[in-house]
Amino acid sequence: MFRRSPRLAPFFFVVSATTLVSARAARADEPLPIVHPLYVHLPDAPEEDALRRAFTAAAARYKLRPVEVVDVPAPPAPRAPDLLKSGVLNTTKIAFGEALHDLDAAAAEAAATGGAGLSTDDLSDLYLHRAIATARADWNATADAPPTDARTRAYADYLRAATLTPARTLNAREIPPQAVADFARAVAEVRQRPRGTLSVSGAVDAQVALDGGAPMPVAGGLVLRDLVHGEHLIRVEELGHVGWGAVIVFNQPAQDVAIPSRALLGLDGATAAAHARRMGARFALVLEPKGGAHAPVLQVGVGPGPPGGLQPAQPGPSVTGAIPAQVTVWVAPLVFTVASTLPLMSLAPIIAP
């Protein structure tokens, strides 16, 4: 999990509105509430008390219902750390079949996520013990034994482990002799490989972890020099976005990696609609963080969406003017800053008597 700075940073926000069908009829002596405001808190996001107060004050000024705070669930925790533990335990028990079941699953997840939840040492352990299980290198297997197909296949994992931790020395009292010898051979090969420069580009607020190491900001571009050739794992995280990871086959003097666009975390339209419908409202007004310190301070763009759902907003130019009361879907993008009082003037024509 990447740490976030405690310093209050500006965020990119999107306000969306959707037409809703009331779940219950309003009482004859009570007007139907039109808008239900929702403040969304994303996983790992710092508390934005000032913004929440501004949003609450604006909602009260326009006589909306009290702001409801909704926590967006964090993505599922990675399974690889637990799979690694059970795989290593089974390897030490010489239960190689059971070990491979868990270690193969952990390796597949690590490849898909860039090693989410695993440190550099964890990743080295993963490949080392999978190699041992693949080669079925128990304590009776000697270093000078003739090569087998299984031992040859296992050498690729010894190389992966050596690429990540070339300075690692195995404990001969804990690791079978054949595994110690094959890992030492892999380390010697890795140390002879050329080195190069890997450049990572993408969102300025993204953070990159290489081979389970500490996160590094992309900022204007991340340059990793003196990197040994071989397979490396890259993990990318950014507040408000789904994480991304990949295995990079690094084999050039200079190589570039572009971080792809990733899905946004947030409150989906159906859930927002359900919250508003429960309160008998016709619209859901959703405020949620979408970025980091380098994103626009506050950007609002609302587009038409299907009934019962929210259309992802598109940024638009700054506009002024009233929205006709009969319009049931927002179509007016706005741009403004958190430093000013949160302007919800575009809602006034909708809720005015």
Encoded tokens for 36 = 């239900």
C-alpha span between 296 and 215 (Å, rounded): 23
Model confidence pTM above 0.85: no
Strands of the chain, DSSP E = 13-16, 35-41, 68-71, 195-201, 207-210, 216-217, 222-228, 230-237, 244-250, 254-258, 283-289, 299-300, 334-335
Q: Which two tokens stand for residue 85?
A: 């533990």
Q: What is the mean pLDDT of residues 182-205?
A: 96
Mean pLDDT score of the chain: 75
Q: What percent of the chain has pLDDT over 70?
A: 70
Torsion sign (Cα): 129, 133, 134, 139: positive
Q: Report residue 324's pLDDT band, with 50, 70 and 90 as the boundaries.
A: very low
Q: What is the predicted pLDDT for the residue at 131?
A: 98
Residue 39: pLDDT band (50, 70, 90) is confident
Across 4-13, 86-95, 235-244, which has the greatest mean pLDDT?
86-95
Residue 340: pLDDT band by 50, 70, 90 thresholds? very low
What are the residues whose beta carbons fall under 8 Å from the beta carbon of 179, sequence distance 6 or more? 128, 131, 132, 135, 137, 158, 170
User: What is the mean pLDDT of the segment spanning 319-325?
Assistant: 25
Helices H / strands E in the chain, number of each: 8, 13
Span 195-258 CATH architecture: Sandwich (2.60)
In the chain, where are the structural domains located?
13-60+284-351, 80-191, 195-258
Query: Given this model, what pLDDT does residue 322 score?
Result: 26
The pLDDT value recorded for residue 289 is 56
Are 135 and 141 in contact by the 8 Å Cβ rule? The answer is: yes
State the average pLDDT over residues 262-279.
Answer: 79
Q: In sequence order, what DSSP letters do the residues of 252-270 get, joined into one string?
A: SSEEEEEPPP-PBPS--HH
Which tops the pLDDT comparison, 99 or 31? 99
In this model, does residue 348 exceed pLDDT 90? no
Residue range 131-154: mean pLDDT, rounded = 96
Six-digit token string for 114: 């860039």
With tokens 């690729």, the residue in question is 156
- 54-92 tens-digit pLDDT: 777 777 776 777 888 888 888 899 999 999 999 999 999
Tokens representing 164 are: 């990540």
Residue 74, C-beta contacts closer than 8 angstroms, at least 6 positions apart: 43, 44
**13: which 2 tokens?**
């926000």
pLDDT of 168 above 90: yes
Query: Which range among 4-13, 140-149, 300-309 has the greatest average pLDDT?
Result: 140-149
In angstroms, how far apart are the furthest CA atoms of the chain?
91
Mean pLDDT to the nearest integer, 240-264: 93
Q: Which residues of 245-272 are buried (b: 16+ CB within 10 A; e: fewer)?
A: bbbbebeeeebebebeebebbbbebebb
Note the helical H segments in 203-338. Answer: 269-278
